[in-house]
Structure 1
Amino acid sequence: MSYQFADSGAEVLVVIDMFADRLPEVLPKTKIKTVVTVKISEFFPPIVGGVIRIVQKVWSRTLPKVTVPHTKFQLALAAGRKAKSPNKSESYLKGITSDSIAALQYTGGTTGVSKGAMLSHGNLVTNTLQLISMCGSFMRPGKEVVITALPLYHIFAFTINLLGFYHIGGRNILVPSPRPPSNLRRAFENYKVTWLTGVNTLFNALLNETWFTDSPPKQLRASAAGGMALHESVSKKWREITGTPIVEGYGLTESSPVLTFNPLGGNGKDGTIGIPVPSTEVLCVDEKGKEVALGEAGELIAKGPQIMLGYWEKEAETNNTLKKGYLYTGDIATMDKDGYFTIVDRKKDMIIVSGFNVYPNEIEEQVAAVPGVTEVGVIGMPDDKTGEAVVAYVVAGLPAPTEEQIIVHCKKSLSAYKTPKKVVFVDELPKSPIGKILRRELRAGAIEKSKSTTGKGA
């Protein structure tokens, strides 16, 4: 976080006091002048809030001493109320338009250094309305209860759960940590949950929980997946268990984030990311920027009112990403005859086996369908004969499949060069805060381990 604070030039930090012990190290590296601390029990009734506070202090010991100058949240609110006036409110809004920057939303940094995407008020408002229009009657004003298991600082939860569901008067049930998935059990039991948003790993994890499959949520109406590819095996099983639709959308931090979505209640297609949301143009192009033929793979680019203004103080990177009004996503996709797009994979994740392009998503889809596979991440590893070889890293449940069973299954539907040369069983896979499997870290760890193993054998 210190990088983001410094890069953005932030001067005020509002932080939960549970993390106060990190401030002495972080603040000297930034321009932050004012710190406002917030209690997790801030707006609970006095008795409940008091109990939470005692538990934090005595039982969980999650309240470190605040050793830097700070203002408590309630005091900051009181000072604001005392200082407010009509004139000050008007001057605060003076010059603010739909093109004014509303937020610096930092990219996940999963493919390199995190960058601040400049999202305008217009970007965020438009994308909120675009999403709601794609959900139709499934987002009922004042009636929806959504479990928010993704952090609100992530653009998916920020726009969809916070802006979208609050705009229609919905209720967010916040789950600070969805791992292990049993953390969601009480939320499902105590609230009439009508919606769930998340990533493939979350939905798959719930489907491997007996308490969930034995008694699926009765009030659930719909679910939406994003952040990473939703495996067809997961979406099929989800519908079978819950009896409700689950659809996949697609977007990036740079697009606020939604670019495409499978229409709820419409003609959704498993395995696709849907069709462009209203007022959005999406194309697949070759390396020269020319649109490719129908069904042919190309880089997905997009133009629309939700596209960012650019990267904060990074002109060169902005120019590499925004060209002639189009956002170049770095994702390889295809479009079918009905206008539905399918993500093939990230350009940077592509594996080249004997000169053939291999995309991890396709292989992960097949491996995930093997009974007993809980999670899978596929990467390319250096190979003397083929340049790179496909390696699948698997987290297995019970009963666990064997390496041979996985490879035999893949051979039924994949070409020989796409079939994993090796399957490695691991206890866990590296993930981002929202549960997205980080192939870059997986590959770096695998290469490092390979080097150390080679060194020992020399």
Structure 2
Amino acid sequence: MLEQVNQYQNLAQFIEQAAQRYAAQDAFTCLGQTLTFSEINNHADNLAGYLHQLGLQAGDRIAVQLPNINQYPIAAFAALKLGLVLVNTNPLYTQREMQHQFNDSGAKAIVILSDLYPKLQGILADTQLEHVICTGAADLLKGQTDAVDGDCVLFSEALKQGAGVTYPRSQATLDDVAVLQYTGGTTGLSKGAQLTHLNLLANTIQTKEAFADRCKEMSEVFICPLPLYHIYAFTLSLLIFTGYGNHTVLIPNPRDLEGFIQAAKAHQFTTFAGINTLFMGLCATEAFHELDFSKLQLTVSGGAALTTTAANTWMKVTGCTITEGYGLSETSPVVTFNRPGEEQIGTVGFAIRDTDVQLWDADDNPVADGESGQIVVKGPQVMTGYWNRPEETAKAITPEGYFKTGDVGIRQPDGAIKIIDRLKDMIIVSGFNVYPNEVEEVLVSHPAVFEAAVVGKADERTGEAVHAFITLKGEVDEQELQTFCRQHMTNYKVPKHIHVLNELPKSTVGKILRRELRSA
């Protein structure tokens, strides 16, 4: 595979070749506006010219804090063209989280949503940011510009000022860092995973191969509701589908199901990405059932455990299977993937090409076949380390190059990997290990339960007790659910307490936030 990667000097060359090859093809659609590959590329050239005028040089970091709008790929591609390091930033970050990430990365410039600019102003003096470019959702639409109060440059103005400016093309090598992908904020301040041009190009090629014939050149229309600042959607949309001339439909706010469905309705989409909660939410919305699914051939799930209930419901509504994979920010992200059309629900499939996946015990020794262990990964997609954190890097990556994921898995007899849970989420009841994913899977299989999240809480008698938090689609009481669980699980796994909520706390990607439930 490395010979395929080595035909490119860096990601900028990969993107520019795609832009030339597919110039007239539709590249991105958002809010009713479609931009071709040529238009995206020209805008990115103009923005790169403007950034060069500001004095930004290869290796400087630039933060992008945007939802899924057309300005995102333009900003990302401009950064790559100039040899900058892209710092993907969550638009929902608090000022504390923003300040930490900007200072930790040493970002000199930011492209930010206009609505977030007031939040940035409150911390700007305490960061190294020298240049602020603001953009609103309507900024690229003809005749529309979002006014901003404050000392920042509008995105549309930056494009005008950079038009025709000659800038030095990126000379980055495959070993240079392309993206700082921040991760680990759930357990403290987030760390920047250093993803090189080689990491991301390798995973692009690996994953496209795993998609088999479900990702053809210039043939796919990809519905992208997951945020581009997350590595899952970043690699899928900006690299895999874009790199092979396909069309991405960006969904700025997937929680607005009505708007989401209207946006999807305008397209003969072939590919869809999501996670468990999104699949269930869409399938519970009547208007979604009326969409045309006749061309849909690949639905990708990752980032959170896929339940059998969600997979079966999606199949019933759309006629398409869900193909689940597994990955992390530190692995660019894909590590394993099911075979499209031959999915084993409950597993995350097989290691992708040139990827060594092993299961280790607490002493870093391989476990026996059929036993659970921490998943460790070695391959060209594994990051070089955490930005400015040599001690954290040494803990996470062995001298032989194996990355310790912190996830627990079991290898099936045929080689497929089943994820049990995160090591840190494991609950210990009277000395027995309880994995929340297993309990959640049983709970959502009850016809009255819509969603479930399970956490451990301190208990004087058993050390920890299993607490379940659920949302309902029918009537059921705690005792009935506990009886149901006992029919499917050993007694110590049955939730001692079941709490009914109107809504489960979720991240912007749609992951259920167990940490918030632990303190509830």
TM-score where L is the length of structure 1: 0.89
- Conserved? CA contact 1:345–1:360, under 8 Å: yes
Structure 1 segment 176-187 matched on structure 2, within 5 A: 176-187=252-263
Alpha-carbon distance in structure 2 between the residues aligned to 1:261 and 1:386: 37
* Number of equivalences: 422
2:159 counterpart of 1:77: yes
Equivalence for 2:501: 426
Deviation for aligned residue 1:140: 1.7
Q: What is the Cα deviation at residue 369 of structure 1? A: 0.8
Contact 2:272 2:298 in 1 (8 A): yes
Partner of 2:364: 289
Superposed counterparts of 1:22-33, under 5 Å: 22-33=119-130
1:216 CA drift (Å):
5.9
Equivalent position amino acid for 1:421 in 2: K
Equivalent residues in 2 for 1:328-367, closer than 5 Å:
328-367=404-443
1:22 counterpart letter in structure 2:
K
Q: Compute the displacement of 1:229 (Å).
A: 0.3
Structure 2, gaps ≥5 residues long: 1-97
2:271 to 195, 200, 206: 195
Per the TM alignment, residue 215 of structure 1 is displaced from its structure 2 partner at its CA by 5.0
Which 5+ residue runs of structure 1 have no aligned equivalent? 54-62, 447-458
* 2:269 paired with 1:172: no
Alpha-carbon shift at residue 41 of structure 1 (Å): 2.2
Aligned mate of 2:299, from 209, 217, 223: 223
Measured in 1, the distance between the counterparts of 2:515 and 2:418 equals: 22
Superposed CA RMSD: 1.6
Mapped to 2, the partners of 1:278 and 1:252 lie a distance apart of: 16
| Structure 1 position 409, deviation (Å) | 1.6
Match of 1:316 in 2: 391
Question: What is the SS of the residue equivalent to 1:307?
Answer: coil
Structure 1: distance between partners of 2:247 and 2:115: 25
Aligned partners of 2:208 and 2:240 also within 8 Å: yes
Corresponding position: 1:300 with 2:397: no
- The residue matched to 1:75 in structure 2 has which SS? helix
2:224 matched to which residue of 1?
148
Post-superposition CA distance 1:400-438 (Å, at most 9, x none): 332223212211110000011111001111211101011
Counterpart for residue 440 of structure 1: 515
Give runs of ≥4 in structure 1 deviating > 4 Å: none
Note the C-alpha offset of 1:272.
Answer: 0.2
Match of 2:114 in 1: 17
Distance 2:459 2:292 in 1: 45
Distance 1:301 1:336 in 2: 16
Q: Which segment is superposed worse, 345-354 or 374-383?
A: 374-383
Does residue 8 of structure 1 match 2:84? no
Do the aligned partners of residues 311 and 261 (structure 1) sit closer, same or farther apart at CA in structure 2, a change above 3 Å counting?
same
SS where residue 464 of structure 2 aligns?
Answer: strand
Work out the CA distance in 2 between the residues paired with 1:12 and 1:180.
31
- Identify which of 66, 69, 74 aligns with 2:149: 66
Does residue 247 in structure 1 map to residue 320 in structure 2? no
1:80 counterpart letter in structure 2: G
Displacement after TM superposition at 1:290 (Å): 0.7
What is the letter of the counterpart of residue 71 of structure 1? V
SS of residue in 2 equivalent to 1:99 = coil
Matched residue SS, 1:293? coil
- Specify the alignment match of 2:211 in structure 1: 135
SS at match of 1:433: coil
Q: What is the TM-score of this pair, normalised by structure 2?
A: 0.78
CA contact (8 A) 1:181 1:202 kept: no
Structure 2 CA distance for aligned equivalents of residues 218 and 78 of structure 1: 42
The answer to whether the 8 A contact 2:374-2:407 is kept is: yes
Cα pair distance change 1:147/1:215, threshold 3 Å: closer
